[in-house]
Structure 1
Amino acid sequence: MNSRTAASKGTVIVQRRVVTAVLAAAALVVTAGCSSDDGEGPPFGDTGPPSSGTSSGAGTGTPSPAGAAEETPPAKGSVKVVRTVTEDLETPWGLTPLPEGGLLVSSRDEGTITRVDEKTGKKTELGQVPGVAPAGEGGLMGLALSPDYASDHMIYAYFTTASDNRIVRMLYDEKKPAGEQLGAPDTIFKGIPKGMIHNGGRIAFGPDKMLYAGTGEAGDPGLAQDKKEVGGKILRMTPEGEPAPGNPFGDSVVYSYGHRNVQGLAWDDKQRLWAAEFGQKTWDELNQIKPGDNYGWPVVEGKGDNAKYHNPIAQWHTDEASPSGIAYAEGSIWMAGLRGQRLWRIPLNGTKASAAPEAFLEGEYGRLRTVVSAGGDRLWLTTSETDGRGSPGDGDDRILELEVK
């Protein structure tokens, strides 16, 4: 019985691994292998030698406003796998909880959205999203619920078509038969560059009820520094797909730029935006996002010494992370690692990390794709062993319920 199968059959308490500053300093001299979007390896990425470095600790961030007291979370955390919610999912990517109960999960390669009963694990397919053209790392990716979901029952989705990446919204009518519960997609934003890699894909409504989208540069690094392009950016728009009021570049949806490939978006308890980003040869990043800031790609990867570019607050070698989803809970950002096959905790103190990141679940469940808050000290976490780069075993892929601190 492999470790993932064994772990799914009972409660697992995973011992933490604290990443020390000494190891972090040593990692600076190690050269990592080239990383694609979802992590190095076939069929889409290069296959250079993996690095042996470890993550760095806290980085430089923007200070908190004067007088804004911050409570430093405990230096050490823990993760308990409470249970396996459901199994046998195919390329799960987006995940969002419904206010009335249940979880919606997208299948990247099948182009379907499925509702999972979080109590019983029962799966009900809502339907297939028309126009999805899965290839490489593209397909049906991020999901989000309308900020007015209680009245409009709209689901937003980010997906790859034959020509681009786009964002649509669809009416969800659970009274209709299974497989026929999705209305026709209404495209609110299109023209995001597509490629075999670096398609971005994460969407989320912020505390301001505006829609944020993490995009990739589709393998063309020059797009990231061009503010007229929407690839390699974080976008901010109204629910109708228009530039949101107060955006930093006038009548543009661009919110921040200089990104390689953003697949993690989350807000902390002070409504500050955080984003996880795939690196190339050396450093994956966790960034605290400021409107209008330049995050460096392709000029800088990881931390640099040029004040023109916003440094990450933490960084990891690509074999330790290749980060996709992130969530905020219990004073920390929790970051799912694909190639790294682990869940990272980054404790926060304002806009800085208050301690070195800690790794959990290392190798226990394989590749980890999406993590979302389940309220309080609970998280939902999806595995990603069926995405073409994993080694799927019995039960893969699955959704886990975690208790964290």
Structure 2
Amino acid sequence: MGRARVGAVWAAVVLGLVTGCSSGGGSASPPPPSESGAGTGTGSSPAAVRVAGTLTEDLESPWGVAALPGGDLLVASRDERTITRVDAKTGKKTLVGEVPGVVPRGEGGLLGLAVRDGQVYAYLTAESDNRIVRMRYGGGDADRLGAPEVVLSGIPKGGVHNGGRIAFGPDGMLYAGTGERGETGLAQSVESLGGKILRMTPEGKPAPGNPFPGSVVYSYGHRNVQGLAWDADGRLWAAEFGQNTWDELNLIQPGKNYGWPKVEGSSDVSGFVNPVAQWKTSEASPSGIAYAEGAIWMAGLRGERLWRIPLSGAERAGEPEAFLVEEYGRLRTVLAAGDGRLWLTTSETDTRGTPGPGDDKILRLEVT
């Protein structure tokens, strides 16, 4: 991300068109439920978010979070190189393994997670590159991670802008958001895997129907994509870090160019897709996103808030709304849990926050 931690006051946003050994469980005395509204936001379907409690705490540099079929969570520690299972009812934490070959440095390390068919997929920073691996994991209480198998390698790595989010789409393909490691020209080159959204088979091969024959590149012109989510219509949305001016929420179309470094935020330059919404960098610095209850939910790091962007067709249905503003510090990953519930991880132990008692945490949220 490359920007200092700064407190910020919520502001409404402008914009245009389409364009996540055993140890103890949850907190012994979780904070009382709180309800946070959205300043002056005026979405078409106003909502509130209630923090129903803390699922677990004392996590170290949590980054990727993935749900197992039974509802329990797997959490990656960026700097510790470990994956921990968290019981979704009790918050009990169980170490399921350390991932070999991870080289944490700067914004790199053990990043995004995804689960499919008894395999845990992980996006990680290795010695020479960023890569995606998969490991056998049965999901039983005593199971541990198997040896990693490389799915895709050769994603550019750096001290910053490593991307790192991975997720399986409704089409069964694996998607990954990457960064340009601070070498801006990589984003405009379809020959590079940096500054892209990638789409591949579970084995890491170019997915059928990809826009560039023989390539896993799905869209390009990105600076640092860390949020991926699909709405009820199966459309892909992505959150992206801007540089000094605009962070973005984009509706992703195959083969399209999202502008970086030629443009940041919305522009009238032909050939580039404009974001659906944008924020000042002090208000967002977005990492994870999720779709739930007719809206995209976006976790903000520097902005230290949770954004809700109501959707309608290819446009916003109303102004973005901000919740939990500076209540829990930096927010990294948001995950839909069904029935109007969300999981939300804090990110105060990532070297850029100010850790307090119990940090980092997974919060239980209810949308009302």
Same fold (TM over 0.5): yes
One-letter amino acid matched to 1:284: D
User: 264-273 vs 349-358, which deviates more?
Assistant: 349-358
Q: Secondary structure at the match of 1:223?
A: helix
Instruction: Provide the rounded CA distance (Å) in 1 between the counterparts of 2:90 and 2:193.
Output: 41
Aligned position for 1:361: 324
Q: Secondary structure at the match of 1:363?
A: coil
Please tell me whether residue 403 in structure 1 is matched to residue 360 in structure 2.
no
2:244 & 2:8 partners in 1: Cα distance? 9
Query: What is the aligned-residue RMSD (CA, Å)?
Result: 1.6
More strand by share: 2
1:311 partnered with 2:281: no
Kept in 1, the 8 Å contact 2:112–2:165? The answer is yes
- CA–CA distance in 1 between the matches of 2:270 and 2:295? 26
- Match for residue 139 of structure 1 among 82, 91, 109: 109
Report the equivalent of 1:335: 298
Paired with 2:71 and 2:193, the residues of 1 have a C-alpha distance of 34
The alpha carbon displacement at 1:306 in A equals 1.3
Q: Are the equivalent residues in 2 in contact too, given 1:57–1:357 (CA < 8 A)? A: no
Query: How does 1:95-244 map onto structure 2 within 5 Å?
Result: 95-146=65-116, 149=117, 153-174=118-139, 177=142, 181-244=144-207
Deviations 1:147-185 (A, max 9, x none): xx2xxx10000000111000000001455857xx01000
Q: Which residue of 1 aligns with 2:18?
A: 61
Separation (CA, whole Å) in 2 of partners of 1:224 and 1:144: 24
What TM-score comes out, normalization by structure 2 length? 0.91
Deviation at 1:61, TM superposition (A): 1.4
Consecutive unaligned residues in structure 1, runs of 5 or more: 1-36, 43-48, 63-72
Q: Distance in 1 between matches of 2:274 and 2:140?
A: 48
Measure the CA separation in 1 of the matches of 2:72 and 2:10: 39
Q: How much has 1:247 moved relative to structure 2? A: 0.3
2:8–2:303 contact (8 Å) kept in structure 1 = no
State the distance in 2 between where 1:397 and 1:51 align.
Answer: 21
Conserved 8 A contact 2:167-2:176: yes
Aligned equivalents of 1:394 and 1:52: distance in 2? 24
Query: Which of the numbers 298, 318, 335 marks the counterpart of 2:261?
Result: 298
**Contact persistence 2:235–2:251 (CA under 8 A):** yes
The C-alpha deviation readout for 1:307-328, integer Å capped at 9, x for no partner, is 3100001101111000000000
Aligned equivalents of 1:241 and 1:254: distance in 2? Answer: 12
After TM superposition, the score normalised by the length of structure 1 is 0.83
1:121 Cα shift?
0.8
- What SS does the corresponding residue of 2:88 show, helix, strand or coil? coil
Q: May I ask how many residue pairs the two structures share in their alignment?
A: 345
1:344-366 Cα distance to aligned partner (Å, 9 max, x none):
00011111111111100001100
In 1, Cα distance between the equivalents of 2:331 and 2:179? 19
Asked if 2 retains the 8 angstrom alpha-carbon contact of 1:55 and 1:314, the reply is no
Residue of structure 2 equivalent to 1:20: none
1:238 to partner: Cα distance = 0.2
Are residues 1:80 and 2:50 paired?
yes
